[in-house]
């Protein structure tokens, strides 16, 4: 690994600040961790003696489990700190939480928060390395990296691809991080969804916007579907899940508009029959479960680059 | 008691004055303005090289007393006013309890009397408890000393309440002062809805939330013949609505804050969501900001007010979404305006004096805003050359929440005279 470029950042806060070489470094590092998952003993000593603290202010099953598995496979001591039932919910200020963290001095803090840039603010105030596991609808860098890893596995490249991202554009951190990453790597991204789930100023994301699913996925190498949470958005924005599926649901028939070797992705958790038909989700073009598998390898890579290399 | 301000450049738009004059203040009134005054026994302030203006008036501040003295008090807020060159402030009613009855008004006025740093004109609530449901006892409030009514912080949302407030306030000839924002359209937004909020994934407050409310209010003003003052105008389209209403001859005035003139939503983005860039209405798009400056120059905007909104440092740390709205402004407004508006040739000095003194006095029906003999002896001295760096740690205010920390500005207040007494700088 000595000829590789060296990771110089203290934290991984967003894709916005990453260059192509840094993205490639994470993905290449993840390649070498992928085979760990196939061993009978799925553990390497890279982070032995290090402490990773996973703080989730928002509930999450898969992202937290994925980080925890990644930490354990690297032999780090991992501690989970969930907001519900803790002092965080009892009105402790974020400032005090920060000071407490600093006093405990973990090596790595993995944080998810419902508000944008809280991990950034935290990272600027503590010596520990900080990984953003999702900040509001802003960024989710490890998700975009694992998506890129999955795309690269199938397409052997990350440039010159046409990627369609469809769904709730307003509330999706997955969208924002993926748009940033894919543009940095030289792919073309088209985004689509109902106008009521698009932020005003959506053009500031710098990619073309389509208002029909068909227009977005035509000729696509990759189709990424985003979760729609009707219960959260309310009936003023969307009349029903059925209507959403009729207009923006990914069906087998619609998928024919994409390239023959298209791959279908979803960050999960999926709403079957809302944004994606079951036969597409489970079909031969779907790589949705591979994304989950790759998530562990990519998070191992990020943890290793942040906390393992310097020893 | 006599105070002679000697040799300053007197700028008073109400008398069409811009000249080197001595100003004699006597028994709390302006006694004389002449080329040279000999006043034996008077205390003399050397104003040579300084600009002498009618006392500046900020008609939009939050003094937080009673109830939130950890953020600000009448004493610290008026001291901040004096340090910032203001001789008078109008303080909003959203205290705890709110200023919706005589006892709260009298408490504020009593504290102001004791502080002595600046005149305080309380603004009473439009609705009982600021609940937006029942009219407050406006007659009692005016009798106790309020100069206007406003539910500021909360818009008067109910159309019938606004209609009645405009009608009822006519009995007392006080303006209804509105924070115009449709709460259903602003929703859970925390910054301007636009390109920056789209990139950050932040819930936005669309400009139309203000515009829709302003449009409705102006129709109600037309129907009722009421007096209406629009607070912290932030959007280009609201400005256009105001311009049309004035063409119609409605009794409408509006204010703009220095921050809405000087910052926009890209500054929020660049700050990395620093909570000191969070205020309501939010910093708008660059085109709104440019329209406000044009409106200021064209005279469609009456006055500048700071919306001084102190918050404790603990409340403005880390999390933009959870942080309260608002920034302090009493100690930055004058230098910001001198450097960025006058210094850059956007607004002549004379117009700035109008915006910060004469117009606020007119809009709220306050004494002052002029140096005509017989007027209250409230005077601000300004040093156009002095360079300052905005240093929150040196504020007289209890709070530090400003997006302008570190700004280097040319021009600063140099002395504040209230009722014929030099209150700032304080004598050593």
Cβ-contact B39, B24 below 8 angstroms? yes
Cα of first residue to Cα of last residue in chain A, in angstroms, is 14
- Is B151 one of the catalytic residues? no
| A contact test, residue of B186, B201, B317 with most A CBs within 10 A | B201
Q: Identify the band that residue A231 occupies on the pLDDT scale cut at 50, 70 and 90.
A: low
- CB contacts of A113 in chain B (<8 Å) are 319
pLDDT at position B265: 98
CA B54, B60, B61, B66 torsion-angle sign? positive
Least confident of A86-100, A120-134, B28-42, B275-289: A86-100
Task: Say yes or no: B27 contacts chain A, CB-CB below 8 A.
Answer: no
Q: B4 has which bridge partners?
A: B24, B44
Own/partner contacts of A240-244, CB < 8 Å, gap of 24 or more, are A241/A271, A241/A273, A241/A274, A244/A194, A244/A274, A244/A275
B301: which residues sit within 8 A by CB, 6+ positions away? B233, B239, B242, B254, B255, B256, B292, B295, B355
| Substitution target from A88, A113, A115 for chain B, most B beta carbons within 10 A | A115
Q: What is the pLDDT of residue A61?
A: 87
User: Which residues in chain B are contacts of A173 at CB distance < 8 A?
Assistant: 201
Measured between beta carbons, which residues in chain A are less than 8 angstroms from residue B194? 200-201, 204
- Mean pLDDT over each residue of chain A, to the nearest integer: 92
Quickly state the pLDDT bin for A82 (edges 50, 70, 90): confident
CA separation for the pair B376, B420 (Å, rounded): 8
A–B CB contacts, 8 A cutoff, strictly below: 80
In a 13 Å sphere around the CA of A220, the CA atoms on its Cβ side amount to 29
Rg, Å, chain B Cα set: 20
Under the banding of pLDDT at 50, 70 and 90, the label for residue A233 is low
A214 — pLDDT class (breaks 50, 70, 90): very high
Instruction: Give the pLDDT of residue B428.
Output: 54
B193, B194, B273 ranked by CB distance to A116: nearest: B273
Interface probe, candidates B190, B199, B270, B313, chain A, greatest A C-beta count within 10 A:
B199
Q: Does B184 touch chain A (CB under 8 A)?
A: no
Q: At what angle do helices B286-298 and B236-247 cross, to 10 degrees?
A: 30
Q: How far is B275 from chain A (nearest CA, A)?
A: 11
DSSP B55: P
Which pLDDT score is estimated for A232? 66
Query: How does pLDDT run across A151-210, given as a tens digit for each residue?
Result: 999 999 999 999 999 999 999 999 999 999 999 999 999 999 999 999 999 999 999 999
Phi and psi torsions of B46, nearest 5°: -80, 110
| Residues listed for chain A | 311
- The predicted pLDDT at position B382 comes to 98
In this prediction, the residues of chain B whose per-residue pLDDT falls under 50 are: none
Q: Which residues of A touch B (CB under 8 A)?
A: 93-95, 98, 113-118, 120-122, 125, 136-139, 170-173, 176, 199-205
Report CB contact under 8 Å: B196, A204: yes
Please write the tens of the pLDDT for every residue from A63-81.
Answer: 999 999 999 999 999 998 8
DSSP E strands, B13-85: 17-26, 29-34, 43-46, 51-54, 56-61
Per-residue pLDDT at A2: 47
> CB-CB: which of B195, B201, B314 is closest to A176?
B201
Is residue B18 within 8 Å of B36, Cβ to Cβ? Answer: no
Which of A125, A173, A203 is the closest to B201 by Cβ?
A173
Helix (H) or strand (E) holding B123: strand B119-124
Whole-model pTM: value is 0.93
Measured between CA atoms, the residue of chain A closest to residue B269 is A117
Is B195 within 8 Å of chain A by CB?
yes
* DSSP symbol at B368: -
Quote the ipTM score: 0.91
Looking at beta carbons, which residues of chain A come within 8 Å of B264?
A: none
Instruction: Please tell me the predicted confidence (pLDDT) of residue B414.
Output: 98
Question: Which residues contact residue A247 at a Cβ distance below 8 angstroms, ignoring those fewer than 6 apart?
Answer: A194, A212, A213
* pLDDT per position as a tens digit, B149-171: 999 989 999 999 999 999 999 99
- The mean pLDDT of A35-39, rounded to a whole number, is 87
Asked whether the predicted pLDDT for residue A90 surpasses 80, the reply is no
Q: Residue A94's pLDDT band (boundaries 50, 70, 90)?
A: confident
| Per-residue three-class SS string for chain A | CCCCCCCCCCCECCCCCCCHHHHHHHHHHHHHHHHHHHCCCCCCCCCCCCEEEEEECCCCCHHHHHHHHHHHHCCCEEEEEECCCCCCCCCCCHHHHHHHHHHHCCCEEEEEECCCCHHHHHHCCCCCEEEEEEECCCECHHHHHHHHHHHHHHHCCCCCCEEEEECCCCCCHHHHHHHHHHHHCCCEEEEECCHHHCCCCHHHHCCCEECCHHHHHCCCCEEEECCCCHHHHCCCCCCCHHHHHHHHCECHHHHCCCCCCCEEECCCCCCECCCECHHHHCCCCECHHHHHHHHHHHHHHHHHHHHHCCC
> Strand order of the sheet with strand A108-113?
A77-82, A51-56, A108-113, A129-135
Which residues in A lie closer than 8 A to residue B312 (C-beta atoms)? Answer: none
Q: What is the DSSP letter of B386?
A: E
Q: Which pLDDT value is given to residue A311? A: 42
Residue of A nearest to B206 (CA): A200
B345 touches chain A (CB under 8 A): no
Average pLDDT over residues A118-137: 95
Burial class (CB in 10 A: 0-12, 13-18, 19+), B408: exposed
Test the B interface: residue of A119, A138, A174, A199 with most B CBs within 10 Å: A199
CB contact under 8 A, A205 and B319: no
8 Å CB contact between A26 and A54: no
Predicted confidence (pLDDT) at residue A4 exceeds the cutoff of 80: no
**Following CA atoms A12, A15, A20, A24 in sequence, which dihedral angle do they give, to the nearest 10 degrees?**
50
B360/A contact by beta carbon, under 8 A:
no
Residue where the block lists tokens 């406003």: B150
Q: Is the pLDDT of residue A1 over 60?
A: no
Report the distance separating Cα B201 and Cα A171, nearest Å.
7
Instruction: Please report residues of B whose CB lies closer than 8 A to that of A116.
Output: 200-202, 273, 320-321
Residue A263 has pLDDT above 50, yes or no: yes
B201 and A171: CB-CB below 8 Å?
yes
Q: What is the pLDDT of residue B1?
A: 84
Each residue's pLDDT tens digit, B208-235: 999 999 999 999 999 999 999 999 999 9
CB A114 within 8 A of CB B202: no
Report which of B308, B325, B307 is spatially closest to residue B316, judged by C-alpha positions: B325
Whether A117 sits inside 8 A of B194 (CB atoms) is: no
Q: How far is the C-alpha of B253 from the C-alpha of B293, rounded, in Å?
A: 16
Tokens 């598998």 belong to residue: A293
Name the residue among B247, B112, B233, B105 with its Cα closest to residue B179.
B233
Measured CA to CA, the distance from residue B44 to residue A28 in angstroms comes to 77
Name the residue facing B193 among A93, A122, A200 (closest C-beta): A200
For residue B196, the chain A residues in CB contact (below 8 A) are 201, 204
Say what angle helices A141-155 and A173-184 make with each other, to 10 degrees. 50
Query: What is the rounded CA–CA span in Å between residue B239 and residue A187?
Result: 43
- For residue A91, the model assigns a pLDDT of 58
**From B264, B307, B378, B383, active-site residue:** B307
**What pairing do the DSSP bridges indicate for beta strands B303-304 and B204-205?**
unpaired
């Amino acid at each position: 690994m000595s000829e590789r470029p060296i990771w110089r950042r203290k934290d991984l806060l967003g894709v916005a600040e990453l260059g192509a070489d840094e993205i490639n470094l994470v993905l290449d590092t993840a390649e070498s961790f992928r085979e760990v998952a196939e061993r009978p003993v799925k553990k390497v000593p890279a982070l032995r003696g290090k402490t990773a603290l996973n703080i989730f202010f928002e509930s999450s099953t898969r992202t937290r489990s994925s980080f925890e598995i990644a930490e354990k496979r690297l032999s780090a001591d991992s501690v989970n700190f969930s907001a519900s039932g803790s002092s965080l919910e009892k009105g402790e200020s974020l400032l005090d939480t920060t000071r407490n963290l600093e006093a405990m001095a973990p090596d790595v803090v993995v944080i998810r928060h419902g508000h944008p840039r809280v991990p950034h603010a935290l990272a600027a105030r503590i010596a520990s390395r900080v990984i953003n596991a999702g900040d509001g609808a802003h960024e989710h860098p490890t998700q975009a990296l694992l998506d890129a890893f999955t795309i690269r596995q199938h397409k052997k490249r990350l440039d010159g691809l046409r990627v369609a991202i469809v769904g709730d554009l307003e509330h999706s951190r997955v969208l924002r991080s993926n748009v940033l990453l894919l543009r940095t790597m030289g792919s073309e991204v088209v985004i689509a969804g109902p106008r009521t789930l698009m932020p005003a100023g959506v053009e500031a994301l710098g990619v073309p916007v389509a208002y029909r699913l068909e227009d977005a996925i035509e000729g696509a190498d990759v189709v990424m579907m985003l979760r729609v949470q009707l219960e959260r958005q309310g009936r003023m924005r969307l009349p029903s899940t059925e209507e959403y599926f009729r207009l923006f649901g990914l069906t087998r028939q619609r998928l024919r508009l994409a390239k023959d070797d298209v791959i279908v992705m979803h960050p999960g958790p999926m709403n079957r029959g809302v944004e994606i038909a079951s036969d597409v989700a489970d079909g031969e073009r779907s790589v949705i479960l591979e994304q989950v598998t790759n998530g562990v390898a990519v998070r191992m890579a990020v943890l290793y680059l942040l906390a393992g290399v310097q020893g | 008691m006599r105070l002679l301000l000697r040799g300053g450049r007197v700028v008073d738009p109400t008398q069409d004055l811009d000249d080197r004059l001595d100003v004699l203040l006597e028994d709390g009134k302006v006694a004389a303005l002449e080329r040279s005054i000999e006043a034996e026994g008077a205390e003399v302030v050397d104003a040579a090289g300084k600009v002498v203006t009618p006392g500046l008036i900020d008609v939009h501040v939050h003094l937080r007393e009673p109830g939130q003295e950890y953020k600000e008090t009448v004493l610290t807020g008026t001291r901040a006013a004096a340090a910032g060159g203001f001789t008078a402030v109008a303080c909003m009613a959203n205290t705890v309890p709110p200023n919706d009855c005589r006892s709260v008004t009298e408490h504020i006025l009593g504290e102001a009397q004791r502080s002595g740093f600046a005149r305080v004109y309380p603004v009473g609530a439009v609705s009982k408890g600021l609940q937006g449901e029942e009219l407050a006892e406006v007659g009692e409030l005016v009798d106790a000393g309020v100069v206007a009514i406003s539910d500021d912080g909360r818009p008067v949302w109910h159309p019938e309440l606004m209609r009645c407030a405009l009608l009822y306030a006519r009995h007392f000839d006080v303006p209804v002062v509105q924070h115009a924002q449709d709460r259903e359209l602003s929703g859970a937004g925390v910054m301007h809805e636009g390109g920056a909020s789209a990139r950050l994934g932040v819930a936005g407050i669309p400009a139309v939330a203000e515009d829709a409310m302003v449009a409705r209010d102006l129709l109600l003003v037309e129907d009722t013949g009421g007096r209406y003052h629009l607070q912290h105008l932030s959007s280009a389209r609201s400005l256009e609505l105001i311009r049309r209403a004035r063409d119609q001859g409605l009794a409408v005035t509006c204010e703009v804050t220095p921050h809405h003139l000087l910052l926009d939503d890209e500054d929020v983005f660049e700050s990395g969501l620093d909570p000191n860039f969070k205020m309501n209405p939010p910093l708008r798009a660059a085109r709104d900001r440019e329209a406000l400056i044009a409106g200021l120059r064209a005279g469609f905007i009456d006055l500048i007010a700071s919306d001084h909104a102190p918050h404790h440092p603990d409340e403005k740390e880390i999390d933009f979404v959870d942080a309260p709205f608002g920034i302090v402004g009493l100690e930055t407004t004058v230098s910001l305006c001198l450097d960025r508006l006058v210094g850059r040739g956007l607004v002549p000095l004379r117009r700035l004096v109008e915006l910060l003194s004469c117009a606020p006095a007119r809009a709220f029906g306050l004494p002052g805003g002029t140096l005509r003999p017989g007027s209250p002896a409230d005077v601000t001295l300004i040093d156009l050359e002095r360079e300052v760096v905005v240093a929150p740690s040196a504020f007289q205010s209890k709070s530090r929440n400003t997006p302008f920390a570190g700004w280097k500005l040319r021009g600063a207040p140099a002395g504040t005279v209230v009722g014929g007494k030099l209150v700032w700088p304080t004598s050593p």
